[in-house]
């Protein structure tokens, strides 16, 4: 029962404690490094306004850096009886430094502390997600260029429709990631604002220098209004979840296509056997479980915004313990998405394509529009050409000319992958990751 930051002169009911602490002792481990970083910035600011002595600040920073290193090495633990990461860090400081450790919490509440931890964690993870998206993007563009001349059937209603190509198919998913990056950028921008100093949600009578902690932590700006800063809890998670969900949507669709195209009835793509899984009963099986798991995990991530909203949507302004539960769905989502992105890039790299799909005459009708356009270009009215080709197909006398000429922007013969890549580079350059990295490096000394 020891070590409760708010414990006074009565003991808390054990069942109440178990229920209210919930899964914090496990989930707060995601936040440990960031809790320490936040404390380093906070106490540096406290010293500057006279709430800590210079030598006190120095010993505290030394200890905090050690705790940061522990967390970095995966050795940070929340001890039995300690309720959360904030309490654990403070306990470690007071164990080591006595009363000095108790001074770090002036002008702060666990409400703005956890807000800050969540923002620093999310900011870090968004950078990771962007890096993983870029790796997958490059893989897709590479495959698109490699197979730009390999045709495949395009479908509408899952009925064979028109010629498409592997260049278009791979490139389409690359461009989808360009749009997803707009959401990640918006998520990053709202995450990269400093809530520290809002305290319990109403500020403090100490003359806190919020600009100083904003600069020390490399934030673009602060969440100025202290009531709004607290309102950001849940809102940030929801909006970031939308960004993760749009990336996951791209992955889920790609995975669905890949499962279908890998099926023997299509046979458009092939996975090397070491990238498939077997069956315990059917000796011939080589299943695309990787894509199936990417599909399911990505679908799960697409439910994240709804899960966050169901937890926080109807809360009035101000802190509520409800917000704690968001951590359970939000914190693990980044690792899961990053894993899916990494596996997708890996498996796309290994994927082989069938270069002779269209040799099968069952696909001949996909060239019908090519023929109609050829006749129309030679002067026959479009409707007449359409009818002529239609009747030939019905009569089984249609023989397609498979030499197609698509030249406009974004078509089979003109993929514009260079333009798509330029958009991606431009999107990534707007994050200014270097600014954040140098602030964090400086703070850690």
Per CB under 6 A, residues contacting ligand ARG are 24, 84, 110-111, 114, 319, 321, 323-324, 327
Sort strands 221-222 and 193-194 into parallel, antiparallel or unpaired: parallel
Phi, psi of 288 (to 5 degrees): -85, 55
Closer of 184 and 196 to ligand ARG (Cβ)? 196
Cβ-contact 68, 444 below 8 angstroms: yes
Q: Which of 279, 405, 432, 438 is catalytic?
A: 279
Closer of 23 and 189 to ligand ARG (Cβ)? 23
Tell the smallest beta-carbon distance from residue 327 to ligand ARG (Å).
6
Residue showing the smallest CB distance to ligand ARG in the complex: 324
Closer of 82 and 424 to ligand ARG (Cβ)? 82
Closer of 30 and 147 to ligand ARG (Cβ)? 30
Q: What is the rounded CA–CA span in Å between residue 116 and residue 108? A: 11
Q: What is the rounded CA–CA span in Å between residue 133 and residue 362? A: 37
Q: How is residue 427 written in tokens?
A: 């999107």
Cα 73 to Cα 32, 67, 76, 368: the distances in Å are: 11, 10, 8, 62
Q: What is the rounded CA–CA span in Å between residue 243 and residue 427? A: 14
Q: Is 436 helix (H, G, I), strand (E, B) or coil?
A: helix
Closer of 83 and 371 to ligand ARG (Cβ)? 83
Q: Residue 221 catalytic?
A: no
Tell the smallest beta-carbon distance from residue 113 to ligand ARG (Å).
7
Closer of 116 and 217 to ligand ARG (Cβ)? 116
Q: 44-63: b or e for each residue (b if 16 or more CB lie within 10 Å)?
A: bbbbeeebbeeebbeebbeb
Q: How is residue 113 written in tokens?
A: 């502390």
- The dihedral over CA atoms of 228, 247, 30, 319, expressed in degrees to the nearest 10, equals 20
Q: Which of 3, 86, 109, 157 is catalytic?
A: 157
Q: What is the rounded CA–CA span in Å between residue 305 and residue 323? A: 14
Tell the smallest beta-carbon distance from residue 120 to ligand ARG (Å).
14
Q: Is 66 helix (H, G, I), strand (E, B) or coil?
A: helix
Q: How is residue 265 written in tokens?
A: 């009835």
Closer of 114 and 372 to ligand ARG (Cβ)? 114
Tell the smallest beta-carbon distance from residue 43 to ligand ARG (Å).
19
Tell the smallest beta-carbon distance from residue 39 to ligand ARG (Å).
15
Tell the smallest beta-carbon distance from residue 235 to ligand ARG (Å).
14
Q: Is 392 helix (H, G, I), strand (E, B) or coil?
A: helix
Cβ-contact 427, 189 below 8 angstroms: no
Cβ-contact 196, 211 below 8 angstroms: no
Tell the smallest beta-carbon distance from residue 29 to ligand ARG (Å).
13
Q: How is residue 172 written in tokens?
A: 């389409």
Q: Residue 157 catalytic?
A: yes
User: Which residues are identified as catalytic?
Assistant: 157, 279
């Amino acid at each position: 029962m020891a070590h409760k930051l708010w414990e006074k002169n009565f003991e808390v009911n054990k069942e109440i404690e178990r229920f209210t602490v919930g899964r914090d002792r496990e989930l707060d481990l995601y936040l440990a490094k960031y809790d320490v970083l936040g404390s380093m910035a906070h106490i540096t600011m406290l010293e500057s306004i006279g709430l800590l002595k210079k030598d006190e600040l120095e010993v505290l920073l030394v200890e905090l850096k050690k705790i940061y290193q522990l967390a970095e090495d995966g050795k940070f633990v929340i001890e039995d009886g300690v309720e959360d990461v904030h309490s654990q860090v403070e306990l470690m400081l007071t164990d080591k430094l006595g009363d000095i450790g108790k001074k770090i919490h002036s002008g702060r509440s666990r409400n703005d502390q956890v807000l800050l931890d969540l923002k620093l964690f999310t900011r870090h993870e968004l950078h990771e997600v962007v890096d993983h998206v870029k790796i997958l993007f490059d893989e897709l563009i590479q495959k698109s260029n490699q197979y730009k001349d390999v045709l495949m059937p395009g479908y509408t209603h899952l009925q064979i429709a028109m010629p498409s190509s592997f260049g278009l198919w791979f490139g389409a998913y690359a461009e989808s990631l360009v749009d997803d990056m707009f959401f990640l950028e918006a998520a990053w921008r709202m995450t990269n604002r400093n809530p520290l100093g809002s305290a319990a949600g109403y500020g403090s009578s100490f003359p806190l220098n919020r600009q100083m902690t904003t600069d020390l932590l490399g934030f673009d700006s602060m969440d100025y209004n202290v009531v709004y800063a607290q309102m950001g809890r849940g809102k940030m998670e929801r909006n970031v979840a939308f960004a993760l969900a749009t990336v996951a949507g791209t992955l889920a669709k790609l995975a669905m296509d890949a499962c279908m195209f890998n099926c023997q009835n299509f046979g458009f793509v092939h996975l090397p056997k070491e990238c498939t899984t077997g069956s315990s009963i059917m000796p011939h099986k080589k299943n695309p479980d990787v894509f199936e798991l990417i599909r399911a995990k990505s679908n799960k991530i697409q439910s994240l915004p709804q899960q966050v909203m169901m937890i926080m949507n109807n809360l009035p302004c101000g802190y509520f313990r409800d917000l704690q539960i968001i951590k359970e769905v939000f914190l693990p989502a980044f690792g899961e998405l990053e894993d899916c992105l990494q596996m997708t890039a890996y498996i796309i790299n290994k994927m082989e394509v069938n270069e002779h799909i269209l040799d099968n005459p069952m696909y001949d009708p996909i060239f019908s529009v090519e023929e109609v356009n050829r006749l129309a270009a030679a002067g026959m009215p479009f409707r007449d050409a359409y009818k002529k080709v239609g009747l030939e197909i019905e009569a089984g006398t249609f023989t397609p000319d498979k030499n197609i000429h698509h030249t406009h922007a974004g078509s089979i013969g003109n993929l514009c992958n260079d333009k798509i890549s330029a958009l991606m580079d431009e999107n990534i350059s707007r994050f200014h990751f270097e600014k954040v990295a140098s602030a964090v490096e400086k703070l850690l000394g």
